[in-house]
Amino acid sequence: MTSTTSQRARPHAGPAWMVLSLACACQFMVILDASIVNVALPSIRQDLGFTPTGLAWVVNGYLLTFAGFMLPGGRAADLFGHRRMLVAGLFLFSASSLAGGLATAPEVLVAARLAQGMGAAMLAPATLAVINTSFTEGRARARAFGAWSAAGGVGGMAGAVAGGAITTGLSWRWVFLINVPIGALLIVMAMMAAAGTRTGRREPLDLTGAVTGTTGLAALIYGVMQSADHGWTSVLVVGPAVAGLLLLVVFIVVEARFATQPMMPLRLFKIRGVAVGNGMLLLFGGIAIAMWYFTSLLLQNVLGYSALQAGLGQTPAAVMFVVIARWAAALLPRTGVRPLVLAGCGCFVAGFGWLAQAHADSGYVTSVLGPTLLIAVGIGLTFPTLMAAATAAVPEGDAGIIGGLANTASQVGGSVGLAVLATAASTRAAMEAGGSSPAAALAAGYDLVFLMAAGLGLAIAVVSLLLPRHRHG
């Protein structure tokens, strides 16, 4: 790309600190809203009269559209401009948050959460694209990814604490309403700081690819979500999952053979970092679920913590993650991707192996705090590194779609990982229920999950050997 073209691609970009603050704030808000409502669910059910099945869609509706719409959201950022998609995503996210906070019927709240997920799907790839196009020098780019990753991690961990505090001190409605003023502020920042980057080509959005890809992902994730309630052999699981896989096959064929301007250019997978990095992100999604979700269940269902106490109990690990992610970002230009990933996987194996020894009589410090700090070191070393690897060496005009792909890989890995690990935990707990206390049976199930997560860590280490040997950056 010539310098003239580069200058045209970044009109009215703000200072680097403001661009990075904007990207991190958007990522924090998107990830926060995936978990902040969990603590508020009992109050929401009581006020709006949800059925137990319907209540699950307050969480699942957001996750479904968030994961399903990220690929078209990323491509739209490339075609129509990163700043436009940030502003549009923030507007949709904030407006749907307002609708959710004012909802007086279950259907309204679920519809608002579906719209929130779509707004998040527009935001997440755009934030990655903004980082990719605004920070091109290796060291600055690595540090930006470290900050962005830390913001997402803190958002995920802050959900339980913030949700409990807001629901207890104010009302469950403020879990949603708080996004409105924050979103308005971020829209102003986006107009001031984000460059209006776009491909410069007058291309239509690949509607066939968008429909088949989005519908396929949504159907697959929907089917996987049903496994917890209906079992893996149920038609409610197999039907949507198979339909989703078939639609994804159609999507690949359309993108490879028929689309003149494909939404997901398959040529990008010829870049080894893109292919291998996204493969590792799929596996990493299961590790993240095992760490944050199942550790929280261990604290609550086995050790007897409240949801708020469990959130506070995981706070030291969240702080450790932030510190290590920033440190890893500084190391990445010097060490390259593979050493950091292998070191992180070593922490996963050791940490999850230690955590798998927890039982109903375990103490917090020796059985939970120690191993979760070690696992947090592994997450801090690997997550920003994998994101950087999966989005490196990509043409600027494809920054949005590659950001959407990386986020999708992580989200799909988390959704499938949650379903598989939850099934394993419940099966193991049921086997132990006859001769053990309920807490001991649950502990046995969670211990199996943690051993499986250690196996995922080993799998990531093996896949990382396919990465190029040269240093990143």
C-alpha angle 80/82/83, rounded to 5°?
A: 100
CA–CA distance, 309 with 260 (Å, rounded to integer): 54
Kindly give, in sequence order, each residue whose CB lies less than 8 Å from that of residue 216, ignoring residues fewer than 6 positions away: 243, 244, 245, 246, 247, 248, 250, 251
Instruction: For residue 274, give the H/E element and its range.
Output: helix 272-288
pLDDT tens digits in sequence order for the chain, 473 residues long: 333 333 334 444 567 778 888 888 888 888 888 778 877 777 888 888 887 667 778 877 888 888 888 888 888 887 787 778 888 999 999 999 999 999 999 999 999 999 999 999 888 888 877 777 777 666 777 778 778 777 877 777 677 677 777 777 788 898 899 899 999 999 988 887 765 554 445 567 778 888 888 888 889 888 887 887 788 889 988 999 999 999 999 999 988 888 777 878 888 888 888 889 889 998 998 888 888 778 888 888 889 887 677 778 888 988 898 889 888 878 888 888 889 999 999 999 999 999 999 888 888 998 999 999 999 999 999 988 888 888 777 776 677 788 778 888 888 888 888 888 888 888 898 888 777 788 889 999 999 999 999 999 999 999 999 876 655 44
CA–CA distance, 49 with 40 (Å, rounded to integer): 14
Kindly give, in sequence order, each residue whose CB lies less than 8 Å from that of residue 98, ignoring residues fewer than 6 positions away: 176, 177, 180
Read off the DSSP letter of residue 366. I
Q: What pLDDT is recorded for position 195?
A: 56
Q: What pLDDT is recorded for position 203?
A: 65
CA–CA distance, 23 with 195 (Å, rounded to integer): 12
Give this prediction's pTM.
Answer: 0.79
Give the closest residue to 274 by CA, choosing from 376, 398, 363, 171: 398
CA–CA distance, 177 with 155 (Å, rounded to integer): 17
Give start and end residues of each alpha helix (H) in 356-437.
364, 370-391, 399-432
Torsion of CA 441, 442, 445, 446, to 10 degrees: -140
Give the closest residue to 212 by CA, choosing from 251, 178, 245, 173: 251
Give the pair of three-digit tokens for residue 294: 């199942």
CB distance 298 to 368 below 8 Å: yes
Give the pair of three-digit tokens for residue 253: 């064929």
